[in-house]
Every structure is written in C-alpha cells, then in structure tokens.
Amino acid sequence: MNTVEYKINELFETIQGEGAFTGQPSIFIRLQGCPVACSWCDTKHTWEIELEDKVTKEQIIAKTQETSQWASFSPEQILSLFKVQGFKAKHIVITGGEPCMVDLTPLCQTLEKAGYSCQIETSGTFDVRTTKDCWVTVSPKVNMRGGYEILASAMKRANEIKHPVATEQHVDDLKSLLAKHKVTNTPVYLQPISQKQRATELAIATCIENNWRLSVQVHKYIGIE
C-alpha cells in the first residue's frame, strides 16, 4: 500500500500548450512549492508551501482562480478523482511549482499502470525521480534568484529542452549549457517569455538560425487554462 502524498495546487484537463506534446489533450497536476524564483515565472502563486494554505481536496477540485492553496492527495486518490471528474485525456502533465522537489516515481507508476502516459515539466535543478517511460521536459533555469544550478543528470534525462527566452543573454546561456553538458540529440524548443513581441521575434530568428523549434504557449493565445 502506497502512503505517499503530493501537495497539489491545481488539477485540470486541457490541451498541452507547450513543447513537443502541444495539442495533446492532457490532465495537468500542478504541485505546490518552488524555490527557484524565476523573475518572470507565470505561476508565482505556487512558490510557497504554507500550512495555513492547506485546504480540502474538494476545494482544490472546485478552484476557479489562481491561489496558493493546496491539498494532499495520494496517487490512488488522484486516479479516482480523474474518474469522478470524467476526464477523458490519457496523457498526464505533472508541473508546478517544481515537481522534482519530490519523488514522482510512485505517482507515475500508479498512473502508468492505469494506462496513462506521463510527462514532467521541470527546471532541471533537482534530481528527476520518475519512471523510465515518463517524458521529461527540462526547462533549464540559469542564474535565477533562488541560486539553484542545473544538474547534469537532469540534462541527460531530458527528452526535450524547452528554454524560455526574451534576450540574447538567454540564448547565450542555453548555448553554453548545451555545450557544457554535451547535448547534441535532444530536441530544443525556444519559448518566448510572456508572449512579448520582441521575445517572439528573437525566438523565431534563433530557431531558424540553429534549427531549433518554437513553442509559443498556445493556451495563452486561445485563452484556455
């Protein structure tokens, strides 16, 4: 019997809007907690884990706004919730916050055993603990306020690298990282930060120059979660 529990900020079904799985109907599990502190992070409400923000599972399911509230769920409770909610997607995206602060293996094992495919969105600053079949999207974070560094093990485990960009410095940071970790075959996506026009223009030009791919956070353009 698995007794592990995960602190969940949000659980919802939508279309994956980023990276290689863009367009894929997906159930998102958003975990609470991240110490990396990217200045431009679009989910700052997930950073702190405060005990006073602990609420019931029902309140998390009923959430309609971004809040720092969270509830604990076991893998089995997550799975049965999918059924209660009538979710149809067979692909799960585990994000946050920083999901790799905890061991995701029991969660992914339970979900995969039930026939789902799993994907993790991570900053690459914590050990990636998951199943071998889980798709790992590493979005490396360089020189962020929290002071965390990219782990070689995370770069090696990555099935795709999705790098947020707004400046030439971000592009240079990525090139240094790829050289340092000898990444040659992993698909690279550039993701313009916060849909800014200049960031998007830079990302397009840099993708063409380097034969990388563009990831534009489709969900934000079409106004879905």
Ligand X SMILES: Nc1nc2[nH]cc(C(=O)O)c2c(=O)[nH]1
Please return the burial class of 131, using the count of CB atoms within 10 Å of its CB with bins 0-12, 13-18 and 19+.
middle
Q: Is 223 exposed, middle or buried (0-12, 13-18, 19+ CB in 10 A)?
A: exposed
Residues belonging to the chain: 225
* Contact string (CB under 6 A) for ligand SAM, positions 48-67, x = contact: --------------------
Judge contact between 190 and 173, C-beta under 8 A.
Answer: no
Q: Among ligand X, ligand SAM, ligand SF4, none, what does residue 37 contact (CB within 5–8 Å per kind)?
A: ligand SF4
Instruction: Determine, following the binding rule CB under 6 A, whether residue 193 of this chain makes contact with ligand SAM.
Output: yes
Could you give the string, one character per residue 4-43, with x where binding to ligand SF4 holds by CB under 6 A and - elsewhere?
------------------------------x-xxx--x-x
Q: Is 40 or 221 the residue whose CB approaches ligand SAM more closely?
A: 40
In this structure, the strands spanning 91-95 and 135-138 are unpaired
Helix 105-113 and helix 75-85, axial crossing angle in degrees, nearest 10:
40
Asked if 142 interacts with ligand SF4 (CB under 6 A), we say: no
Q: Is 191 in the site for ligand SAM (CB under 6 A)?
A: yes
CA-to-CA distance for 136 and 124, rounded, in angstroms? 10
Q: Which is nearer to ligand SF4, 82 or 99 (CB)?
A: 99
One of 9, 16, 123, 206 touching ligand SAM (CB under 6 A): 123
Q: Are 119 and 133 in contact (CB under 8 A)?
A: no
Kindly tell me which residue out of 43, 72, 186, 210 binds ligand SAM, with binding defined by CB under 6 A: 43
Residues forming the site for ligand SF4 (CB under 6 A): 34, 36-38, 41, 43, 96-98, 123, 141
